[in-house]
């Protein structure tokens, strides 16, 4: 029931609005700042009192299409759906990408008649946006080349657990200006945190993402800084975050990228430039000896497994916000469907 799923102090009208509009989470930008804050509140309540939310998604069926291998994303979604009383169906698309056998629009128009939601882990961002455009059911981006919104929200939850008020947090991200960096910038800026992104020249985040993050920060009181100096990015930070230097699909660039990115390795020397209370963050999987040394990621100051755990809780919250109360179904397009 609605009353059992809203954490104390949260807006009931906001939660109700999310449940019946068929909205998606393709980008952090799909949720307004107060909606992101509510998602964090709900995730925290679910983590604290999981039994209160059993049965929230009873009768809901969600399909997971994955074009990329996965450990955390797949298991946290499947475990979350199961814990909430729903059913999940996993479709392995690692051998054949969505849209290759039949058009995405046809796939979407089939799915909306059978199930209640779609989770996509894909290469091209257009795969997610096209699915959302054609399907009348919620679509969740579980990773694309442009964004990784579920990861970024789990990261914000982890920072909130560590430091409390996100508006007082300074996050440093060093490495490739990739999908993780994009979603982190948007989430931090939207929630009023400060974020400094340090990348080698030529590997900066997309310009349009930077502009969007700067606009969000101007409204929230946060800040966004871009630099090609790792020390400048990390100095005084409450948290230092990095990701792999070569993402899936970039394996052929790995050797060259290693040379370029080595000055951005999070080692003891670089980490010492952060605040004395700083924590280390990584979305995993990690390559020890490349983007981070074992002495940092395996230290007591590392919260990488807290981040991984929070993937479960934030994704449960996202699914409840998008699915609770029933998904709007368009009238059948054909009497013979």
Catalytic residues: 121, 148, 151, 243, 283, 311
Output Rg (C-alpha) for the chain, integer angstroms: 20
Specify burial of residue 133 (Cβ count, 10 A radius: 0-12, 13-18, 19+): middle
Distance, CA of 202 to CA of 263 (rounded, Å): 14
Distance, CA of 70 to CA of 161 (rounded, Å): 26
- What b/e string do you get for 251-288 counting C-beta neighbours within 10 Å, with b at 16 or more? eeeeeebbebbeebbbeeebbebbeeebbbbbbbebee
Bridging pattern class, strands 139-141 and 61-66: unpaired
Distance, CA of 170 to CA of 180 (rounded, Å): 17
Distance, CA of 327 to CA of 337 (rounded, Å): 19
Strands of the 194-198 sheet, one edge to the other: 223-227, 194-198, 170-174, 239-242, 279-282
Count of residues in the chain: 337
Distance, CA of 210 to CA of 100 (rounded, Å): 32
Distance, CA of 292 to CA of 173 (rounded, Å): 12
Three-state DSSP class for residue 87? strand
Distance, CA of 162 to CA of 99 (rounded, Å): 42
Three-state DSSP class for residue 332? coil
């Amino acid at each position: 029931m609605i009353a059992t799923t809203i954490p104390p102090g949260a807006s009931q009208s906001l939660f109700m609005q999310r449940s019946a509009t068929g909205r998606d989470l393709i980008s952090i930008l799909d949720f307004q700042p107060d909606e992101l804050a509510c998602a964090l509140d709900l995730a925290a309540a679910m983590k604290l009192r999981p039994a209160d939310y059993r049965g929230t998604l009873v009768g809901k069926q969600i399909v997971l299409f994955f074009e990329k291998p996965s450990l955390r994303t797949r298991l946290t979604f499947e475990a979350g759906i199961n814990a909430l009383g729903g059913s999940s169906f996993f479709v392995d698309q690692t051998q054949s990408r969505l849209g290759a056998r039949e058009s995405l629009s046809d796939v979407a128009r089939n799915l909306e008649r059978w199930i209640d939601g779609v989770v996509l882990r894909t290469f091209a961002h257009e795969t997610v946006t096209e699915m959302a455009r054609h399907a009348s059911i919620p679509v969740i981006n579980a990773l694309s080349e442009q964004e990784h919104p579920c990861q970024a929200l789990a990261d914000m939850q982890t920072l909130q657990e560590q430091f409390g008020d996100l508006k007082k947090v300074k996050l440093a991200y060093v490495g490739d200006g990739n999908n993780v960096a994009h979603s982190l910038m948007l989430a931090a800026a939207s929630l009023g945190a400060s974020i400094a992104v340090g990348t080698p020249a030529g590997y900066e985040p997309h310009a349009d993402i930077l502009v969007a993050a700067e606009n969000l920060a101007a409204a929230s009181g946060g800040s966004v800084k871009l630099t090609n100096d790792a020390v400048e990015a990390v100095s005084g930070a409450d948290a230092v975050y990095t990701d792999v230097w070569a993402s899936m699909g970039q394996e052929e660039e790995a050797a060259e990228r290693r040379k370029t990115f080595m000055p951005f390795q999070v080692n003891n020397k670089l980490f010492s430039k952060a605040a004395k209370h700083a924590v280390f963050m990584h979305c995993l999987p990690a390559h020890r000896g490349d983007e981070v040394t074992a002495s940092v990621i395996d230290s007591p100051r590392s919260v990488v497994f807290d981040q991984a755990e929070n993937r479960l809780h934030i994704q449960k919250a996202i699914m409840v916000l998008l699915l609770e109360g029933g998904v709007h179904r368009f009238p059948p397009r054909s009497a013979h469907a």
